Copies of this chain bind each other. A is one copy, B any other.
């Protein structure tokens, strides 16, 4: 049993040092590893399988709204990136430049895409002639590079994986509707699959995407009360179609510039899952995206009957669930329990000699630690039920954390007191002036997370300047 204690000790206590706890989980659960280039990471199979599960669900949701996948070049010529003023200002300081191909210096340097609005726009200008060609609702799954200064695996890395959807429409309304439709899909993915409740709203002008007319966001709150932007959807209006000359013949036979959107979620979501659900035992994965939903641990490997029963159980369950069996003979059972808990597997299935006599096995729930005696004949239906319960409970727990950590304030002193005490979301009224937004950031470290779709009226006055308030805003310190 010494093994167990040692193992658990290796993870930093979550309340003592959340940042170190996070890194411990990333490395020790085998999600990702560092490489010899700052800010880059290797996503290991266990981490990548989570991403594949997210991809699968996203592709299904995307398909329902007519999204088609494609693939555009990794590299973007400098003059293309420069075409939209705000866009280049936002991205130029953080792109990686390719200057040589083979032994030759390039005439014009190329950047590795930090995002692909410019490449999509160039091609849309070629591909679109009339309203009959519209809408184009295209998406690519790819990696992007942004030369960030501060990096952290999954949360902010110089290379990350994402999907970037880019669409073109006949009318502003159709484009705006699509922007919100995609935001709702993100909400569904994050709430239903990742079991993390989201806050939906619009970003302030300061926080919106470089080149966008409006940026909408799904915001999440982590275990420590810090906020994480989990996905964004942008309405561009004609901001790109004008410099990129994307015109179409409209239904009245007149030339018009198209209306565009873009939207993305990334491997950052894996970071969100770690930080929203994890605890001192390690990672805690929602069943819907867990690479392994249940791990079967035969308690005594030297007992043939036990091993046979366990293997039979494995064969039955693997038809319907992502299940594995742990037959490692160089670890004790206690070590294995801790190991799979640390890896966040939702259900552990223990089976030993006494269980076989009683024609049963034991389910242990990762989130509650509860043990459930299950008759071997009921194992399939019971596993389905248990996984559903865990998925629901994880969402509810996470929601409770969010609610507990949300405060309403009507003056700056309370704002500072609340955020210093429990982080979380601070709800406060805002006049809409960027100066007040900047003052809050200065004094509290909190940025405006979003202007939520569901508005409430806490007071009539801006929490900073006292002038007439325009919006309720959720504020928070962020990852």
Q: Which residues of A are interface residues toward B (Cβ below 8 A)?
A: 33, 35-37, 40-45, 47-49, 51-52, 68-75, 77, 80, 92-104, 110, 112, 119, 122-123, 126-127, 132, 138, 142-143, 145, 147, 158-159, 161, 328, 330
Extra A-B contacts (5), CB below 8 Å, given A75-B159, A97-B98, A112-B112:
A35-B72, A42-B72, A95-B102, A96-B100, A98-B112
Please give the distance in Å from A64's CB to the nearest CB on chain B: 13
Say yes or no: B97 contacts A71, CB within 8 Å. no
Give the interface centre of A47, A68, A72, A103 by most chain B CB atoms within 10 Å.
A72
Contacts of A44 in B (CB 8 A): 70
Say yes or no: A98 contacts B98, CB within 8 Å. yes
A77-B35 Cα distance, complex, nearest whole Å: 10
Please give the distance in Å from A75's CB to the nearest CB on chain B: 6
Please give the distance in Å from A6's CB to the nearest CB on chain B: 17
Say yes or no: A101 contacts B96, CB within 8 Å. yes
Contacts of A142 in B (CB 8 A): 143
- Nearest first, the 6 closest Cβ-Cβ pairs linking A and B are A101-B147, A45-B68, A97-B100, A40-B73, A102-B147, A43-B71
Say yes or no: A36 contacts B77, CB within 8 Å. yes
Contacts of A104 in B (CB 8 A): 147
Query: Given contacts A97-B98, A100-B97, A142-B143, are A73 and B110 in contact (CB under 8 A)?
Result: no
Contacts of A47 in B (CB 8 A): 70
A275-B42 Cα distance, complex, nearest whole Å: 37
A328-B133 Cα distance, complex, nearest whole Å: 11
A49-B138 Cα distance, complex, nearest whole Å: 12
Query: Given contacts A33-B123, A96-B98, A102-B94, are A45 and B69 in contact (CB under 8 A)?
Result: yes
Please give the distance in Å from A409's CB to the nearest CB on chain B: 38
Contacts of A330 in B (CB 8 A): 132
Query: Given contacts A69-B52, A101-B96, A102-B94, are A80 and B36 in contact (CB under 8 A)?
Result: yes
Say yes or no: B159 contacts A74, CB within 8 Å. yes
Please give the distance in Å from A474's CB to the nearest CB on chain B: 31
Give the interface centre of A102, A110, A330 by most chain B CB atoms within 10 Å.
A102
A12-B148 Cα distance, complex, nearest whole Å: 49
A122-B37 Cα distance, complex, nearest whole Å: 12
Contacts of A112 in B (CB 8 A): 74, 98, 112
Say yes or no: A37 contacts B73, CB within 8 Å. yes
Please give the distance in Å from A215's CB to the nearest CB on chain B: 23
Contacts of A328 in B (CB 8 A): 132
Say yes or no: B97 contacts A159, CB within 8 Å. no
Q: List 29 A-B contacts (CB under 8 A).
A: A33-B123, A35-B119, A35-B123, A36-B77, A36-B122, A37-B77, A37-B110, A40-B74, A42-B70, A42-B72, A42-B119, A42-B123, A43-B70, A44-B70, A45-B70, A51-B71, A52-B69, A71-B161, A92-B102, A93-B102, A96-B98, A96-B101, A97-B100, A98-B99, A98-B112, A102-B147, A104-B147, A112-B112, A132-B328
Contacts of A95 in B (CB 8 A): 102
Please give the distance in Å from A417's CB to the nearest CB on chain B: 38
